[in-house]
Amino acid sequence: MQGVEPKIIVFLCHWCSYEGADAAGRGRKEFPSGNLREIRVMCSGRVDPRLVLEAFRLGADGVLILGCAPGDCHYKRGNIQALKRIPLLERILQQNGINNDRFKFDSVSAGDGEKYARIAGEMVERLRGQGSKNHA
């Protein structure tokens, strides 16, 4: 467990959201990047539930999975496969004491540094307000 500043694992897909995160960098957007730990995968569909569960077990305060927008997936439907897992994973996390503020799935297109900064910033703010992760 990390102290007051939440640490958020962000899964980014190589083709869209990773590029979007880079765009946020190139655009020098203001957002709490220090609280994020980005990890690259080829497709959001690669993120299997084990990775999310392990991230929380290791002590992450939040996990974000960011893929391509519907219809834009480089592998056609990988992001849809990722989406299909989300509602069940949310409930499993909840039953394990991790509330849904801590886990989100969204899309960020390649040029959308703005959206990346916003989504990440919102989660950090939300989790700062909640203090350290607990088993409520």
Partner 1 sequence: MPEKPKIALYWCSGCGGCEESVIDLSEDLLELQRRADIVFWPVALDSRLKDLEALGNGEIDLTLINGAIRLHEQAHMARLLRRKSKLVVAHGTCAHLGGIVGLGNFHSVPEILARSFREVPTVKNPGGILPGGFKEDSVRGPKLSGLTDKVMALDQVIDVDYYIPGCPPPPELVGEAVWAVLEGRLPEKGFVFGDRKTLCHTCPRLDSKPEQISLKGFKRVHETKWDMEKCFLPQGVICLGPATRGGCDSRCIQANMPCRGCFGPLETMEDHGAGILSFIASMIDAEHEDEIRRITDAIPDPGGLFYRYSAPHSILGGGKGPRT
Partner 2 sequence: MQFEPVEAPKVFNMPQRIGVYICECGPNIKDAVEMAELLEEAEGHKDVVLAQSFGFLCSPDGKEFLREEIRSHKLRRIVIAGCSPKEHERTFREILKEAGLNPFLLQITNIREQCTWVIQEKKVATEKARALLRGSIKRVRLHEPLEAKTIECCADVLVVGAGVAGINVALALARKNRKVYLIEKEPCIGGRVARHEDLYPDMVCASCLIEPQLDAVLHHDSIEVLTLTQMAEVKGYLGNFVASVRQKARFVDLNACIGCGACFEACPVSVPGLFMGGMAGRKAIHVPYAGALPNVALIDEDHCLRFQGASCRSCLESCPFGAIRYDETDGIRELKVGAVVVATGFSSFDPGKDARYGYGGADNIITSLEFEQLVNSTGPTEGKILLANGQPPRRIAFVHCVGSRTEKFNEYCSGVCCLYTLKHAHQARLQLPEAGICQFHSDLCLPGKESQRFYRMVLTEDRIRFFRLLRPDAIEIRKGSGSILIAHTDTQGELEQNEFDMVVLATAMESDEGIGEIAGILDVKLGENGFFEEADARLDPVSTVREGIFTAGCAQEPKDIPSSVAQGHAAAGRIMGKLEPGERLPLEPMACEIDPETCSGCLVCESLCTFKAIVREDCEPTVSINQAMCRGCGVCAAACPSGAVIARHFSTQAILSELRGLIG
Residue 76 zone, left/alpha/beta (φ > 0; ψ -120 to 50; rest): left
On whether the CB atoms of residues 3 and 128 are closer than 8 A, the answer is no
Q: What does the block give as tokens for 104?
A: 């989100």
Q: Which of 3, 4, 58, 136 binds partner 2 (CB under 8 A)?
A: 58
Residues 83-102: x/- map of binding to partner 2 (CB under 8 A)?
--x-----------------
Residue whose CB is less far from partner 1, 27 or 49: 49
Residues 32-61: x/- map of binding to partner 1 (CB under 8 A)?
----------------xxx--xx-xx----
**DSSP-derived 3-state class of residue 95:** helix
Q: What residue 42 binds from partner 2, partner 1, none (CB within 5 to 8 A, per partner kind)?
A: partner 2
Q: What does the block give as tokens for 100?
A: 């849904």
